[in-house]
């Protein structure tokens, strides 16, 4: 099954001088594949991931995830889709500085109005997997870059 499909994706940043960051990209990622994208700094990796994660929209072309055409989703649907279907580790973290790491992890579950028991269970599960139990009560500015990620 195709998880990600990009067709003819072009992204142009319209600053003072327009910049073509992605030019006619085709990409298919199938279920179970583990894909790494490599390239020099400034070559467009983050731009590409922003297209896949719906953080930004292509200038032209199509992005589909599990058959759903992201360009056609309304803002609300897109937010829900992002929260339920996608996981993303950002290059610059995007943690909420006033919350602890544990609270940061719980935040999306709160938006989904999950019960306290389920939230605690999921937090424990993910903390165990990542071996981060001892830093859950720390705030983002108290941990290292790798720990933030």
Ligand X SMILES: Nc1ncnc2c1ncn2[C@@H]1O[C@H](COP(=O)(O)OP(=O)(O)OP(=O)(O)O)[C@@H](O)[C@H]1O
Which one, 1 or 17, has the nearer CB to ligand X? 17
What is the 3 state secondary structure string of 78-92? HHHHHHHHCCCCCCC
Beta-bridge mates of residue 14: 18
Task: Select the binding partner of residue 47 from Mg ion, ligand X, none (C-beta < 5 to 8 A, by kind).
Answer: ligand X
Q: How far is the CB of 134 from Mg ion (least distance, A)?
A: 29
Whichever of 21 and 101 has its CB closer to Mg ion, that residue is 21
The stretch among 45-53, 80-88, 117-125, 127-135 that binds ligand X (CB under 6 A) is: 45-53
Written as one string, the DSSP assignment of 72-122 is: GS-HHHHHHHHHHH-----TT----TTS-HHHHHHHHHHHTT--HHHHHHH
- Structure-token match 């999306």, residue found: 108
Give me the 65-94 binding string for ligand X, x by CB under 6 A, dash otherwise: --------------------------x---
Contact 31, 1 (CB under 8 A): yes
Complex with ligand X: residue 21 or 101, whichever CB lies closer:
21
CB of 122 to ligand X, least distance (A): 30
By CB under 6 A, tell whether 41 contacts ligand X. Answer: yes
CA distance 92 to 145: 9
Residue whose CB is less far from ligand X, 10 or 100: 10
> Where do contacts with Mg ion occur on this chain (CB under 5 A)?
45-46, 91
- Kindly give, in sequence order, each residue whose CB lies less than 8 Å from that of residue 4, ignoring residues fewer than 6 positions away: 27, 28, 29, 52, 63, 64, 65
**Which of 4, 10, 45, 103 is the binder for ligand X (CB under 6 A)?**
45
């Amino acid at each position: 099954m195709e998880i990600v499909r990009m067709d003819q994706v072009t992204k142009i940043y319209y600053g003072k001088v327009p910049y073509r960051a992605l030019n006619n990209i085709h990409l298919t990622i199938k279920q179970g594949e583990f894909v790494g994208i490599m390239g020099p700094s400034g070559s467009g990796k983050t731009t590409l991931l922003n297209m896949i994660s719906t953080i930004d929209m292509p200038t032209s072309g199509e992005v589909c995830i599990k058959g759903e055409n992201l360009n056609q989703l309304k803002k609300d649907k897109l937010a829900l889709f992002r929260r339920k279907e996608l996981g993303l580790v950002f290059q610059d973290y995007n943690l909420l500085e006033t919350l602890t790491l544990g609270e940061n992890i719980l935040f999306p579950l709160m938006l989904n109005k999950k019960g306290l028991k389920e939230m605690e269970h999921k937090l424990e599960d993910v903390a165990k997997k990542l071996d981060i139990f001892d830093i859950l009560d720390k705030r983002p500015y108290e941990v290292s870059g790798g720990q933030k990620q």
